[in-house]
């Protein structure tokens, strides 16, 4: 696994969809943060590719406000950073755009360079871009990297995901393909594996013998805002469950990998997804926040769920019988992502059970207030038999206060440039996730006319 850039080599990043929100809010600020910290390769270029007829200066003006809002580092190196960026105008559905791209690459790359193609466009443009990159032989090189990053949503269901994988594999090898799930780039999500496998005290308890249930909650206070065009067709299962929640589940449930190589990690995650028992719709809660139907672009009487609670089971030796409660929703009381591992009660309770006795818990707080908490019972002072729940807390802000938590995209972008797919999703993982999600969507969209449970925004 390569962890450092080769200083004698040049790198080119080509962003398709450069005028979009993702590029302005996440990609360019993340590259800047890494540049500021000295982590970018010595020689790199960013080609911002989109349809609007801009010059590079126009483009930089256009992105300025949103880009600046998302900056966490001082702006002292901005001019230097932007000297690496050029804007290129083209319609990615047209062949001519790739002639222009080829000519531009020849102009800006001083020597033959590694390339990273970033598809930050609407998903319907993935196919023309991949096909054209292939037809123009932009996907191959004897000795230089030609990697491609694909944003979510990766398909709408299993069939479309398989089709997209097949198209990618027509041109790119699996190790060149970076299917991004930004939850895997979150420092605290990565820490799950370190917590489990760098400590010997937790792993012996990490199984059905000691764990009663696992609760994976990704709650958001925001509504769907202006995204109805996408969201009303997608719904919470395609938007959050197929990717983020199932990925968190794999990190909690996977067996220890043989090493930290991408292939070992992905293989163990696949085994978890393969062991998922089909969900029983009778036990799923489908919710929709009040007011959703009034959002511009939402279909009349839409039943699209904005909230769901799914009990999932991993049918293998380690997890048999342990429910994983997956829950996510929009317009809830607060934005918080956390995983709570609830342990079994002691086999025989000696103490007063009626005083708020709680089973032990480990809470992994993914965001905000990132940290890990171990909750356990303590004797209540000055009482004969009562217990009180107390906790041992690790919090990044206090425990590691001099260390900045990079944003999810920062880690992932660097890894994609380095060619390390460890924190990206394998073709098979995507397909197995859809295999679990499709029957839930089919049930909701085709088999039942049940209305979603309506909930008041701002509640939990």
Q: Which residues are catalytic?
A: 244
Q: Which is nearer to ligand BG6, 62 or 178 (CB)?
A: 178
* Cα(143)–Cα(140) distance, integer angstroms: 9
Q: Which of 220, 232, 429, 438 binds ligand BG6 (CB under 6 A)?
A: 220
Nearest-approach distance from CB 222 to ligand BG6, in angstroms? 6
- Residue number with CB closer to ligand BG6 (31 or 237): 237
Whole-number minimum distance, CB 220 to ligand BG6, in Å?
A: 5
Residue 239 in the binding site for ligand BG6 (CB under 6 A): yes
Minimum CB separation of residue 328 from ligand BG6 in Å reads 9
In the complex with ligand BG6, which residue's Cβ is closer, 239 or 377? 239
Give yes or no for a contact between 56 and 85, defined as CB atoms under 8 angstroms apart: yes
Q: Residue count at the site for ligand BG6 (CB under 6 A)?
A: 5
Q: Report the C-alpha gap between 196 and 177 in whole angstroms.
A: 28
Residue 363's DSSP bridge partners are 340, 373
In the complex with ligand BG6, the residue whose CB is nearer, 21 or 99, is 21
Contact call for residues 245 and 337 (beta carbons, < 8 A): no
Nearest to ligand BG6 of 217, 220 (CB atom): 220
Beta bridge partners of 389: 377
Check residue 36 and give left, alpha or beta (phi > 0: left; psi -120 to 50: alpha). alpha
| Cα 454 to Cα 456: distance, rounded to the nearest angstrom | 7
Cβ proximity to ligand BG6: between 239 and 438 the closer is 239
Q: State which of positions 30-69 bind ligand BG6 (CB under 6 A).
A: none
**Calpha distance 380→390 (Å, rounded):** 10
Residue 345: which H helix or E strand, with range? Answer: none
Our measurement of the distance from residue 173's CA atom to the centroid of its chain's CA atoms, rounded to an integer in Å, reads 22
30 Cβ partners below 8 Å, 6+ apart?
Answer: 407, 409, 410, 413
Least distance (Å) from ligand BG6 to the CB of residue 429?
A: 16
d(CA 106, CA 86): 13
Least distance (Å) between residue 271 CB and ligand BG6? 25
Q: State the helix-helix crossing angle for 262-274 and 246-253, rounded to 10 degrees.
A: 100
Question: Among all residues, whose Cβ is closest to ligand BG6?
Answer: 239
CB of 255 to ligand BG6, least distance (A): 27
For ligand BG6, the closer of residues 104 and 182 by Cβ is 182
Restricting to residues 292-311, which ones interact with ligand BG6 according to CB under 6 A?
A: none
Question: Phi and psi (nearest 5°) for 250?
Answer: -65, -35
Task: State which of positions 315-344 bind ligand BG6 (CB under 6 A).
Answer: 337
Chain residues 154-193 in contact with ligand BG6, contact rule CB under 6 A: 182
Measure Cα distances from 330 to 10, 226, 327 in Å: 42, 13, 11
Start-to-end Cα distance in the chain: 42
Q: How far is the CB of 409 from ligand BG6 (least distance, A)?
A: 10
Question: Interface with ligand BG6 by CB under 6 A: which residues?
Answer: 152, 182, 220, 239, 337
């Amino acid at each position: 696994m390569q962890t450092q850039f080769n200083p004698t080599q040049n790198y080119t990043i080509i962003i398709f969809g450069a005028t979009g929100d993702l590029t302005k809010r996440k990609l360019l600020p993340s590259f800047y943060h890494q540049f500021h910290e000295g982590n970018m390769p010595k020689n790199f270029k960013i080609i911002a590719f989109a349809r609007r007829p801009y010059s590079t200066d126009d483009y930089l003006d256009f992105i300025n406000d949103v880009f600046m809002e998302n900056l966490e580092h001082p702006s002292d190196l901005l001019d230097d950073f932007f000297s690496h960026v050029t804007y290129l105008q083209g319609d990615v559905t047209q062949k001519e755009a790739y002639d222009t791209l080829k000519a531009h690459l020849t102009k800006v790359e001083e020597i033959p360079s590694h390339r990273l193609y970033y598809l930050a466009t609407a998903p319907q443009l993935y196919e023309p871009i991949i096909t054209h990159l292939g037809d123009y032989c932009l996907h191959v090189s004897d000795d230089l990297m030609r990697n491609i990053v694909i944003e979510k949503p990766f398909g709408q269901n299993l069939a479309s995901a398989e089709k997209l994988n097949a198209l990618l594999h027509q041109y790119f090898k699996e190790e060149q393909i970076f299917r991004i799930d930004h939850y895997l780039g979150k420092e605290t999500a990565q820490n799950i594996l370190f917590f489990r496998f760098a400590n010997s005290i937790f792993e012996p308890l990490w199984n059905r013998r000691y764990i009663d249930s696992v609760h994976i909650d990704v709650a958001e206070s925001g509504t769907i805002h202006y995204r109805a065009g996408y969201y009303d067709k997608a719904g919470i299962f395609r938007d959050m469950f197929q990717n983020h929640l199932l990925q968190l589940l794999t990190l909690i449930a996977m067996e220890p990998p043989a090493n930290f190589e991408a292939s070992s990690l992905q293989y163990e995650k696949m085994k978890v997804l393969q062991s998922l028992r089909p969900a029983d719709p009778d036990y799923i809660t489908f919710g929709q926040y009040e007011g959703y139907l009034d959002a511009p672009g939402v279909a009349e009487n839409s039943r699209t769920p904005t909230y769901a609670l799914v009990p999932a089971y991993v049918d293998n030796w380690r997890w048999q019988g342990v429910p994983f409660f997956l829950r996510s929703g929009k317009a809830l009381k607060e934005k918080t992502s956390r995983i709570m591992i609830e342990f079994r009660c002691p086999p025989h309770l000696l103490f007063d059970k009626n005083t708020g006795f709680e089973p032990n818990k480990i809470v992994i707080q993914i965001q905000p207030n990132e940290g890990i908490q171990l909750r356990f019972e303590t004797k209540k002072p000055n009482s004969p038999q009562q217990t009180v729940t107390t906790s041992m807390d690790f919090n990044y802000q206090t425990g590691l206060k001099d260390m900045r938590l990079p944003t999810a995209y920062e880690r992932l972008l660097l890894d994609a440039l380095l060619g390390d797919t460890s924190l990206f999703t394998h073709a098979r993982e995507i397909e197995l996730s859809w295999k679990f999600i499709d029957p839930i969507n089919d049930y909701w969209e085709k088999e039942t006319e049940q209305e979603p449970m309506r909930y008041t925004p701002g509640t939990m």
